[in-house]
Amino acid sequence: MSDVCNIGVAVPGHEYEVAIGAGVTGRIGAAAAATGARRVALVTHPQLAQRFPAAVEALAGAGLDVIELFMDEGERAKSWSTVGGFLERCAQAEMHRDDLVVGLGGGVVTDTAGFTAATFLRGVRWMSCPTTVLGAIDAAVGGKTGVNLTAGKNLAGTFWQPSAVFVDTSTFASLPPREVRAGLAEAVKCGWIADPAILDEVASWGTAVDLATLAATEGALTSVVTRGIAVKAAVVARDERESGLRAILNYGHTLGHALETACGYTLSHGEAISVGMVFAAEMSALRGMLDRAAVDRHRDLLAGLGLPVAVPRADLDAAVPLLRRDKKASDDLRFVLLEGPARPVLVDDVDAATIDAALAAVST
Ligand SMILES: NC(=O)c1ccc[n+]([C@@H]2O[C@H](COP(=O)([O-])OP(=O)(O)OC[C@H]3O[C@@H](n4cnc5c(N)ncnc54)[C@H](O)[C@@H]3O)[C@@H](O)[C@H]2O)c1
């Protein structure tokens, strides 16, 4: 195994570590056995279980009884009925209070696994092995678990922190470029709100990044992913329940969520927040908080990753009425803006003219 980096997530009363490195999945057996669990419910997609057998091998090798809980791919499977089926299976397998749930997959899997753990027997421990860049940087850390409802994404869920996270960077090699891009949009967000070294590293990759090669190159994504996780860990440790600071993680997300919905999810989350970040940067500049060079840098970095920095006006027009319906926004329309790199501020008094001008700047 190559170098492993450990990041502590210091959520008060629920501290845990994220291990990051090629091959770290192999560690889950000992970690799971050390909890005293005898059975482990492994939530994953069948094709990921096949592609990454290390988790099952490590768990079984540590003498644990593994119950495989397979779910379909895609958002539709992150559902109430999937979790209901898993809970029945956990009960049939006579899992106890001390047993464990493990999620192996992207954010769809880890959100579902975490919610299964949070609800079985009123809460059992869980661990996650994220296999996407987005899953590692965003979904696996912070304890938000849940499922989608017919009315919208992530409308049911709980805060339920994992006991450990294993980010095996070797799993990124098989990710399609679109998934790498989606995760890197969140990494760029972490760069702007808290850690500009991420921006420098992404800039060092050039202006037309070959994402397939990047993902397949051992260790190439490790530093950016590690830094992104460190940003998320630091924020959620200070504000687990999104009562204040955690909202900065929504940089680019107010317009981004509205665009995703308005476009019927033809834009991925990463693509939508890419446009959302440029929009937020434009608003920051229009209010005199951010210099033009920083706005241009948003465009350069995101476009270099193949992410959109503008969308057709019709899509924006469809998104605007949804801005106020973003469940993460409070009653007033609130934006995360920037006063500079690593200087995010929450602003709820943006006037309509500024919003219009910023929309025009991200319209094709
Ligand atoms: N809990 C949180 O704080 C949080 C934060 C951000 C996002 N999310 C959730 O995460 C979900 C999105 O996660 P995602 O972007 O990881 O999508 P995803 O889980 O749907 O994974 C994307 C695709 O990649 C495949 N895949 C996963 N790992 C792979 C690998 N290593 N190689 C090849 N293919 C692989 C999956 O099977 C899937 O088809 C959304 O449901 C979102 O709501 C949660």
The pLDDT-based confidence of 2 (bands split at 50, 70, 90) is low
pLDDT, residue 244, reads 79
Give the residue numbers annotated as catalytic, written as ranges.
122, 144, 186, 232, 242, 246, 250, 253, 257, 269
CATH number belonging to domain 5-174: 3.40.50.1970
Q: Which atom of ligand 1 is closest in space to residue 114's alpha carbon?
A: 1
Domain ranges of the chain: 5-174, 177-361
Residues lining ligand 1, CB < 6 A?
45, 48, 73, 75, 78, 105-109, 111, 131-132, 134-135, 138-139, 142, 144, 153-154, 171, 174-175, 179, 182
Ligand 1 mean position to 291 CA, how many Å? 34
Is this prediction's pTM over 0.75? yes
Contacting residues for 244 by C-beta, under 8 A, at least 6 apart: none
pLDDT, residue 233, reads 97
CA-proximal residue: ligand 1, atom 9 (nearest) = 107
Q: Quick check: 35 pLDDT over 80?
A: yes
CA-proximal residue: ligand 1, atom 5 (nearest) = 139
CA-proximal residue: ligand 1, atom 7 (nearest) = 139
Q: Which atom of ligand 1 is closest in space to residue 142's alpha carbon?
A: 3
Q: Which of 56-65, 192-201, 231-240, 276-285 has the lowest mean pLDDT?
A: 231-240
The pLDDT-based confidence of 106 (bands split at 50, 70, 90) is very high
Assess contact for 110 and 130: CB atoms under 8 A.
Answer: yes
| Greater model confidence, 288 or 323 | 288
Ligand 1 mean position to 73 CA, how many Å? 9
pLDDT, residue 64, reads 98
**CA–CA distance, 255 with 166 (Å, rounded to integer):** 32
The pLDDT-based confidence of 259 (bands split at 50, 70, 90) is very high
CA-proximal residue: ligand 1, atom 22 (nearest) = 106
C-alpha distances (whole Å) from 306 to each of 89, 98, 275 are 42, 45, 12
Give the pairing type, strands 344-347 and 152-159: unpaired
Establish how many alpha carbons lie within 13 A of residue 219's alpha carbon, considering only the half-sphere containing its beta carbon: 5
pLDDT, residue 326, reads 57
Mean pLDDT, to the nearest integer, of 97-112? 98
pLDDT, residue 358, reads 97
Which of 134, 147, 249 best tests ligand 1's pocket when mutated (most atoms within 8 Å of CB)?
134
C-alpha distances (whole Å) from 94 to each of 99, 114, 124, 306 are 10, 19, 13, 48
CA-proximal residue: ligand 1, atom 4 (nearest) = 139
Q: Which of 87-96, 295-304, 344-353 has the lowest mean pLDDT?
A: 344-353
Q: Which of 11-15, 89-93, 149-153, 310-314 has the lowest mean pLDDT?
A: 149-153
The pLDDT-based confidence of 306 (bands split at 50, 70, 90) is very high
pLDDT, residue 327, reads 54
Q: Which atom of ligand 1 is closest in space to residue 144's alpha carbon?
A: 1
pLDDT, residue 243, reads 78
Q: Which atom of ligand 1 is closest in space to residue 141's alpha carbon?
A: 3
**CA–CA distance, 181 with 134 (Å, rounded to integer):** 9
Q: Quick check: 10 pLDDT over 80?
A: yes
Torsions phi, psi of 334, nearest 5?
-120, 135
Assess contact for 256 and 269: CB atoms under 8 A.
Answer: yes
pLDDT tens for 54-74 read 999 999 999 999 999 999 999
Q: Which atom of ligand 1 is closest in space to residue 47's alpha carbon?
A: 37
pLDDT tens for 322-358 read 887 655 554 568 899 999 999 999 999 999 999 999 9
Torsion from C-alpha of 186, 154, 168, 163, nearest 10 degrees: 120
Which of 25, 70, 76, 111 best tests ligand 1's pocket when mutated (most atoms within 8 Å of CB)?
111
Ligand 1 mean position to 132 CA, how many Å? 6
CATH number belonging to domain 177-361: 1.20.1090.10
The pLDDT-based confidence of 301 (bands split at 50, 70, 90) is very high
DSSP label at residue 268:
-
CA-proximal residue: ligand 1, atom 33 (nearest) = 175
Mean pLDDT, to the nearest integer, of 21-42? 97
C-alpha distances (whole Å) from 27 to each of 20, 31, 88, 218 are 11, 6, 28, 19
pLDDT, residue 196, reads 98
Give the pairing type, strands 152-159 and 144-149: antiparallel
**CA–CA distance, 150 with 139 (Å, rounded to integer):** 21
